[in-house]
Amino acid sequence: MSAKIIDGKAIAEKLRQQIAVDVAAFRERTGIVPHLVAVLVGDDPASAVYVRNKHSACEKNGLRSTLHKLPATTSQEELLAVVRQLNDDRDVHGILVQLPLPKHIRADVILDAVNPRKDVDCFHPINVGLLSQGRPWFLPCTPHGVQQLLIETGVPVAGAHVVVIGRSDIVGKPLALMLMQKGPGANATVTVCHSQTRNLVEIARSADILVAAIGQAEFVTPEMVKPGAVVIDVGINRVAGKLVGDVAFAGVSEIASAITPVPGGVGPMTITMLLKNTLTAAELATEGRRMKAEG
Ligand code: NDP
């Protein structure tokens, strides 16, 4: 294997230590502990694991975390009422509604109801708009985690051709927006690919940095990777009880210069950025920190 393995677990741990220091300093200044509330509707086992991991990361790093668990039979109106109550609760700084929601509930209606200043997932249209204008309150967790991995690994992003495969609102689209902005860890030339893209192999092969956010196990094969490219694998797929990414790791790691593993790559970074956003939400709420969008 020739590629350097980008150790997301170690990088996430380093960043979490800094966040814990910042949380302690905030607490010292204000007497307030940043508080994240996760809302989980139903019994999806994967969601339960994600929420549990987020909870324990909060606790380990000095943030408060509460789980609001609701039955799968909860109506859209009942869930909206919960979100509104959390919006009004001054003790709650960050609100996270774990997706997916049961089919009878419209996720867009619920996510639009979250107070944008408490929207630690950065899903609200106001936050997406601010992000696209380059003056965000929050950065979306997984794309921010990817960007931090690149920065911490010393990968030159400015001027690089980044190809993102996947255009979801959670990963591909916001990541493309972030990497094309002016600023550190950005200034890239970004191409976004999706299921209708022609010549996907050729486009992927032209990437200096290739990001796979597709949701199909081992989709990215060695012929899609330029020798020496950096490959970031966002995918999490369960195959025969094992977690695998969207990249065929064994073959691609022979060609790439650096690559993230699954697990232990992007995953731990996502939760780390959620911790950061919860601290930011608490700062916005309690210190009246001037938001860039208002300045
Ligand atoms: P979505 O299913 O919402 O989006 C997948 C994207 O991949 C779509 O834009 C789709 O195109 C595109 N795609 C699908 N098939 C192809 C194809 N054959 N060729 C080109 N493009 C294709 O997934 P998410 O963005 O939510 O998640 C992507 C992966 O990342 C999943 O494995 C998910 O589990 C993982 N994930 C990991 C996180 C982490 O913390 N590590 C966090 C969030 C997600 P189109 O739009 O045309 O349908």
- CATH number for domain 30-115, candidates 3.30.565.10, 3.50.50.60, 3.40.50.10860, 3.40.30.10: 3.40.50.10860
Nearest to 146 by CA among 135, 138, 157, 137: 157
The Cβ of residue 71 has, within 10 Å, a number of other Cβ atoms equal to: 10
Atom of ligand 1 at shortest distance to CA of 246? 32
For residue 236, how far is its CA from the centre of ligand 1 (angstroms)?
9
Residue spans of the domains in the chain: they are: 30-115, 141-267
CATH for 141-267 is 3.40.50.720
| pLDDT higher than threshold 90 for residue 60 | yes
What is the 214 CA–ligand 1 centroid distance (Å)? Answer: 3
- Whether the CB-CB separation of 246 and 274 falls below 8 Å is answered with no
Q: Do domains 30-115 and 141-267 have the same CATH topology?
A: yes
248-258: pLDDT as tens digits:
999 999 999 99
Angle at 188 between CA 187 and CA 192, to 5 degrees: 135
Q: What is the pLDDT of residues 161-190, one digit of tens each?
A: 999 999 999 999 999 999 999 999 999 999
Residue 79 near residue 102, CB atoms below 8 Å: no
Ligand 1 pocket test, pick from 53, 175, 192, 194 with the greatest ligand atom count within 8 Å of Cβ, gives 194
How many C-beta atoms surround the C-beta of residue 270 within 10 A?
Answer: 24
User: Of all protein residues, whose CA lies closest to atom 36 belonging to ligand 1?
Assistant: 235
| Predicted pLDDT of residue 237 | 96
Whether the per-residue pLDDT at 291 is higher than 80: the answer is: no
3-class secondary structure, 90: coil
Q: Which residues line ligand 1 (CB under 6 A)?
A: 142, 165-168, 170-172, 193-197, 200, 213-216, 234-237, 266-267, 270
Distance between CA 170 and CA 65 in Å, rounded?
22
